[in-house]
Structure 1
Amino acid sequence: MLAIALAPFALAAVVGFLLLYPFDHQQRTGADLGFGQYPVNAVVVSAAAGSCTQGSPDEGGCVVLGIRMQDGPRPDQTIEQTVPTDPGTPRFAVGDHVVLSYAGANPDDPTSYQVVDFQRGMPLLVLALVFAAAVIVLGRWQGVAALVALGLSFVVLIGFVLPAILAGEDPLLVAVVGAGLIMFVVLYLTHGFSARTSTAVLGTLLSLALIGLLSMVFSAATSLTGLDEDTSSLMGVLGTPIDARGLLLAGIVIGALGVLDDVTVTQTSAVWELRKANPSLSWRQLYKAGQRIGRDHVSSAVNTLVLAYAGAALPLLLAYTLSGRTFGEVVSSQAVAQEVVRTLVGSIGLVAAVPITTAIAAAVAVREPAKSAGRSGGSVADRVGRAAATSAETPTVRRRPPHLRPGR
């Protein structure tokens, strides 16, 4: 019954995707926007102190790097690059794998290249494999489903949300549709089609709507424009109008979704387990017991959210600390105020998700038979895993040969 009630929301997400996706829009490339820079992989083969070229900072001197290109227009060719050693420049050493920016001019001219960054592909790949292995070891088949759902979330973000915003669609509307697609796909794929999962979906949906409403109200009340340094630079490069405040609200909605589904799924599972342990509990008793569990969970979740935002804004906070401005002036500045609104609105949504989801879960669980309340239905991965576990645990009955049977 609950799944039927959610069907219009799922249909709305699909219709929104079809209406907002830029099917006929030609996405501009970096060359169209005037970037004209191409990455070239290279390795540092020598490094020596040297004088800075004209126009470079003289403080601390420079280092002359011998760099051998690994691809690009001149593979295996070695060029020299002079890099300043000021505090704002990375330190490069022999053996470092770096990325050059090639301007597309004369490939034999060293001035056509510039060292811009380190190569990080292999370490990131190793880290991703370790992460995937940890999830699979702990979650087994459900962990595999979670990884697939994570991949689909990235597909929605990269394949729908970003192109639609770049095509000029309303960022908040795009984020709401994208969050709806992610929510339905991730929760049902990971946890299966069941009343328990539908309860978590409904709790997430209502809490996300509250976060969207609060973010709209308080971003307008605090006169947040969304025009921080990065957004202003992006709009200047694109040359097309993008609603900066809508972009800020879209970030709040998508950022809160990941923490919300954790809270709603946990609360729903807690209520179902309480019902399984004591089928005689009434709706009110289930709700009160679930609330006690939720208080512990939400307190740690809110702390996690606040620290995550504070950690991301740490360089900004350091800069304001050294500015000599008062605490009130720092908090009311555009850059910090939008992080405050983002954090507090998300935290309010998390707090509200606990009673909302617990009330829905108690109302649904108390109407289910005790035995079915103890079963989650399970995703395809769950059913495959249970079948494999049952097969592995079933003992094999061996018949004794006739000459060893009793009485022979």
Structure 2
Amino acid sequence: MKHIRILLIAIIFLLAGTMARAPEGEAAQHPEGEVFRARVLEVKETTGESAVQDLVKTSQLITVEILTGPLKGKKIEVPNATTGNPAYDLHFQPGDQVILWAEMENGRLRDVFISDYARDRYTRYLAIAFILCLFVIGGRKGIKAVVTLGITGLAIAFVLLPLLLKGYNPIGVTVLVCAAVSALTFAVVGGINNKSIAAIIGTTGGVLVAGLLAFAAGTAARLTGFAEEEAAMLLYIPQETFFDFRGLLFAGIIIGALGAVMDVAMSIASAIEEVKKANPSAGRLTLVRAGMNVGKDVMGTMSNTLILAYTGSAIPMLLLFMAYQTPLLKVINLDLVATEIVRALAGSIGLIIAIPITALTAGFLINRPRKRRFVAKKYPEAPASRGRIKQAEVPEPDGWANYPRPNNLPHR
């Protein structure tokens, strides 16, 4: 029943987000084209000179068979031109699956071109392998992990993004969604208990600290929120939403730090619970110290995880700076670089702050004395230490005097 209630809460949380879908406009309701999956059947190539020096232009006439949509099974020829630029060129072979972008008119193809390779098949295989690993190694915990991943993905797709697209405050919406996701995740994985409550409080505290630090540092450093070109493209979307681009930047920092903070918080809360089970007489101070020791061990590796993750995504940019020997003073003051520095450091500080918050909360909650339940025993052979029951409260059946009694129970 407990897990059913948790899942019902998650469903209500997700359904509430369906009311916050993107604003509907003429451009949103009537897309300019349709997308189809197709298979390459034949490729005819011709070679010529490119307008760009030292590059060779290749034209391909590709015969494809449409695999999806109302035109499924139809075979068409699609031209494909390459210029020798590997960043934009697409080269196809028979058997490849591709994505077509088609403009339709009265149910017929007016214009069609190849948009990209069909890559989803291979990412789907990788996702299946990931889920199988969770099932095989994690068992029931792995199944719960898959459920929480689904909740997180649905919350982002049907709650967070639609609310942001409607122009709601990015920081407020993100904090609320992250708090709800962390609560549901911990409840599903660990159940509703003191350990999960401590992890939720620690995660929320760490994420709030990361968001506040990012906001303060970003405002002081005058970060624009336009460090990535996709942010500038939001100015021209059909919904004509007015975005708080700095808020979107800080919201991204909060989401980026959430996973690592959740990991640290649950590790500390679980460690404190295990210490309490192994040593029931351990006091709050002992539990807090144990949690802090675990947190200190985890702190270094998880901080490296955040910083290395952000550095890994910026390797081409860093190589570019090194190749052109750009002065360090110029590099660290660029909007893009300063944004990544604030992102990594704010997330790491939030992770560190989550350690004492979780340790203190878990040490207090897990060490709370539990109420003892006293149940009357019907049979006298039950040990007296299992229930503090007055002798007068125990019903005596017929023939009680002849029934063997333990030594610690008085005769009448």
Fold conserved (TM > 0.5)? yes
Q: CA RMSD in A?
A: 3.1
- Report the Cα distance in structure 1 between the residues aligned to 2:53 and 2:234, rounded to whole angstroms: 28
Q: In the alignment, is the contact (CA less than 8 A) between 1:298 and 1:350 conserved in 2?
A: yes
Identity of matched residues, %: 29
1:55 deviates by 7.4
1:67 deviates by 2.9
> What SS does the corresponding residue of 2:139 show, helix, strand or coil?
helix
Tell me the residue number matched to 1:81: 79
Tell me the residue number matched to 1:92: 92
Aligned pairs for 1:314-393 within 5 A: 314-368=315-369
Tell me the residue number matched to 2:289: 288
Q: Show CA shifts across 1:265-289 (max 9, x none).
A: 0001111112222233332232223
> What SS does the corresponding residue of 1:298 show, helix, strand or coil?
helix
Q: Give the letter aligned to residue 138 of structure 1.
A: I
Mark the CA change 1:94 to 1:288 in structure 2 (over 3 Å): closer, same or farther.
same
- Report the Cα distance in structure 2 between the residues aligned to 1:231 and 1:297, rounded to whole angstroms: 34
Q: Give the letter aligned to residue 59 of structure 1.
A: L
Q: In the alignment, is the contact (CA less than 8 A) between 2:49 and 2:55 conserved in 1?
A: no
Q: In the alignment, is the contact (CA less than 8 A) between 2:49 and 2:57 conserved in 1?
A: no
Tell me the residue number matched to 2:242: 241
1:45 deviates by 2.5
Aligned pairs for 1:9-408 within 5 A: 23=20, 26-28=23-25, 31-32=27-28, 36-51=32-47, 59-71=55-67, 72=69, 73=71, 75-84=73-82, 85-88=84-87, 89-104=89-104, 107=108, 112-227=111-226, 228-238=228-238, 239-368=240-369
Mark the CA change 1:354 to 1:25 in structure 2 (over 3 Å): closer, same or farther.
closer
Q: Give the letter aligned to residue 344 of structure 1.
A: L
> What SS does the corresponding residue of 1:103 show, helix, strand or coil?
strand
- Report the Cα distance in structure 2 between the residues aligned to 1:149 and 1:46, rounded to whole angstroms: 44
Q: Show CA shifts across 1:28-84 (max 9, x none).
A: 47x439861321212223334424699798822214141313145474323131321
- Report the Cα distance in structure 2 between the residues aligned to 1:316 and 1:35, rounded to whole angstroms: 34
Q: How many residues align?
A: 356
Deviation larger for 297-306 or 310-319: 310-319
Unaligned ranges ≥5, structure 2: 1-8, 373-412
Q: In the alignment, is the contact (CA less than 8 A) between 1:276 and 1:370 conserved in 2?
A: no
Tell me the residue number matched to 2:6: none
Q: Give the letter aligned to residue 182 of structure 1.
A: V
Deviation larger for 248-257 or 262-271: 248-257
Between Structure 1 and Structure 2, the one with more helix by share is 1
1:240 deviates by 2.5
Q: In the alignment, is the contact (CA less than 8 A) between 2:20 and 2:163 conserved in 1?
A: no
Q: In the alignment, is the contact (CA less than 8 A) between 1:283 and 1:363 conserved in 2?
A: yes
Bigger Cα Rg: 2
1:105 deviates by 5.5
> What SS does the corresponding residue of 1:242 show, helix, strand or coil?
coil
Unaligned ranges ≥5, structure 1: 1-10, 372-408
Q: Give the letter aligned to residue 92 of structure 2.
A: F
Mark the CA change 1:69 to 1:53 in structure 2 (over 3 Å): closer, same or farther.
farther
Mark the CA change 1:34 to 1:326 in structure 2 (over 3 Å): closer, same or farther.
farther
Mark the CA change 1:103 to 1:55 in structure 2 (over 3 Å): closer, same or farther.
farther
- Report the Cα distance in structure 2 between the residues aligned to 1:28 and 1:240, rounded to whole angstroms: 11
Mark the CA change 1:364 to 1:24 in structure 2 (over 3 Å): closer, same or farther.
closer
Deviation larger for 36-45 or 196-205: 36-45
> What SS does the corresponding residue of 2:101 show, helix, strand or coil?
strand
1:340 deviates by 1.0
Q: In the alignment, is the contact (CA less than 8 A) between 1:175 and 1:250 conserved in 2?
A: yes
1:21 deviates by 7.2
- Report the Cα distance in structure 1 between the residues aligned to 2:48 and 2:109, rounded to whole angstroms: 21
- Report the Cα distance in structure 1 between the residues aligned to 2:52 and 2:234, rounded to whole angstroms: 27
1:369 deviates by 5.9
- Report the Cα distance in structure 1 between the residues aligned to 2:85 and 2:208, rounded to whole angstroms: 48
> What SS does the corresponding residue of 2:175 show, helix, strand or coil?
helix
Q: In the alignment, is the contact (CA less than 8 A) between 1:275 and 1:370 conserved in 2?
A: no
Q: Show CA shifts across 1:138-157 (max 9, x none).
A: 22122212211111111111
Q: Give the letter aligned to residue 331 of structure 1.
A: I
Q: Show CA shifts across 1:318-363 (max 9, x none).
A: 3333343212312221112111111100000111111221122122
Q: In the alignment, is the contact (CA less than 8 A) between 2:78 and 2:113 conserved in 1?
A: no
1:181 deviates by 1.6
Regions of 4+ moved over 6 Å? 53-58
TM-score between the two structures when normalised by the length of structure 1: 0.79
Q: In the alignment, is the contact (CA less than 8 A) between 1:47 and 1:94 conserved in 2?
A: yes
Deviation larger for 147-156 or 316-325: 316-325
Tell me the residue number matched to 1:391: none
- Report the Cα distance in structure 1 between the residues aligned to 2:285 and 2:340, rounded to whole angstroms: 38
